[in-house]
Copies of this chain bind each other. A is one copy, B any other.
């Protein structure tokens, strides 16, 4: 059974409001004083909300698996993160804020140092990003089209860039054009199906033309390409769940992920610092509260500081979010869930496999078991340990947006 298909058939419309507040990488592991970040944080508002909520913890994919942001979010949005995979090229493109459509094939690129057909340095000596920007401009000015396919490169950091091909009949079933090691010959992309032969030809001609264009350069003298990916064919969230859905997020990748599943992505004005950014996001939430019934609200820095192994900074972000909970709750959403897309314990310094604590509040909550929001309470919560993709079903249930199954 595809759970999402099963749930979709039971979904009905009403005028309830659902808010999904995601602190990226929320889950932690005990470090300072044997506490997790969420336990160390002073969170009186979330604790008070916990005392009127169901608690539980989610497993993003299966126990023990550490998800990237793609599978982490697909799970939260109710998609099977194993069945639906978002290509690395697409995620890289979303990460630099690139618009992608179903006529595109994108790939992650490295600028490399290539001499006489041999890859001398896969990262071209890690050039300054400005140099990268300059080379991308040059390529875009000289190579705009190959065999009727529009070609554009977009700079990332240092040696990284994104290639975007736009045209009819493109197909992403290609091998990586990257031998993965230095001192190997250039490797061209190979078509893995009849339908991707045209794309392979365009990609390989692009590589040759880049080498030709940069033949007098010392460092950046060619490129490698990998993770070819077309636009993923995902069922659309607003249709699957029959709900007008908006995303409030400041980072390109999360805005892009929400767009991939068909949410409206609302503009958030730039702001300085975490509290100001949060306030800007809340203003967008308030301004659009009447226009949508589902809000995905994303807070980035819990994850960033977890990745940096900065325990106290992650604690501070959690406390900042706690401060704005009363303002968010004053909107009186019918259902709110507070959770993360995965754990990013400062102890690990990266995404991890640990289950993710969640709190879900509605007037139907089976509350009373806990009066604080943290990993320990959630592990013993009223909803137990569930798959991340079950959260959407629970949100809809609490919003009375699901019909009874069977008579």
| Chain A residues close to B by CB (< 8 Å) | 1, 3, 6-7, 10, 29-30, 34-36, 57, 61-71, 81-83, 85-86, 88, 91-92, 345, 347-348, 350-355, 363-369, 375-376, 379-387, 390, 392-397, 402-407
Contacts and interface: CB of A to CB of B under 8 A. Distances in A.
B36 A405 contact: no
Contact of A394 (B63, B88, B382, B393): B63
A65 B407 CA distance: 13
A301 B40 CA distance: 44
Nearest to A82: B1
B380 A369 contact: yes
A64 B396 contact: yes
Nearest to A55: B379
A354 B36 CA distance: 29
Contacts of A91: 406-407
Given A85-B406, A369-B379, A406-B71, A62 B390 contact: yes
Chain A interface mostly: loop
B379 A355 contact: no
A355 B369 contact: no
A397 B355 CA distance: 12
A392 to B, nearest CB: 8
A348 B366 contact: no
- Copy tally for this chain in the complex stands at 2
Closest 9 CB pairs of A and B: A64-B393, A384-B385, A68-B406, A63-B390, A64-B397, A71-B406, A353-B397, A64-B394, A68-B407
B7 A64 contact: yes
Interface centre among A34, A350, A353 (most CB of B within 10 A): A353
19 contacts: A29-B366, A61-B405, A63-B383, A63-B394, A64-B390, A64-B393, A64-B394, A64-B395, A64-B397, A66-B397, A69-B406, A69-B407, A70-B406, A85-B406, A351-B404, A355-B383, A366-B375, A369-B376, A369-B380
Contacts of A347: 363-364
A403 B353 CA distance: 10
Given A68-B406, A364-B29, A82 B384 contact: no
A88 B407 contact: yes
Given A34-B368, A384-B385, 17 more contacts: A3-B62, A6-B62, A10-B65, A63-B394, A64-B390, A64-B395, A65-B405, A70-B406, A71-B406, A92-B407, A345-B364, A347-B363, A351-B404, A352-B364, A352-B397, A366-B379, A368-B376
Given A384-B384, A393-B62, A394-B353, A406 B365 contact: no
Contact of A57 (B367, B384, B393): B384
A306 to B, nearest CB: 13
A73 to B, nearest CB: 10
A18 to B, nearest CB: 12
Nearest to A376: B369
B385 A67 contact: no
Contacts of A36: 366
A36 B386 CA distance: 23
A366 B81 CA distance: 24
A82 B364 CA distance: 25
Contacts of A407: 68-70, 86, 88, 91-92
Nearest to A65: B405
B383 A66 contact: no
A68 B83 CA distance: 29
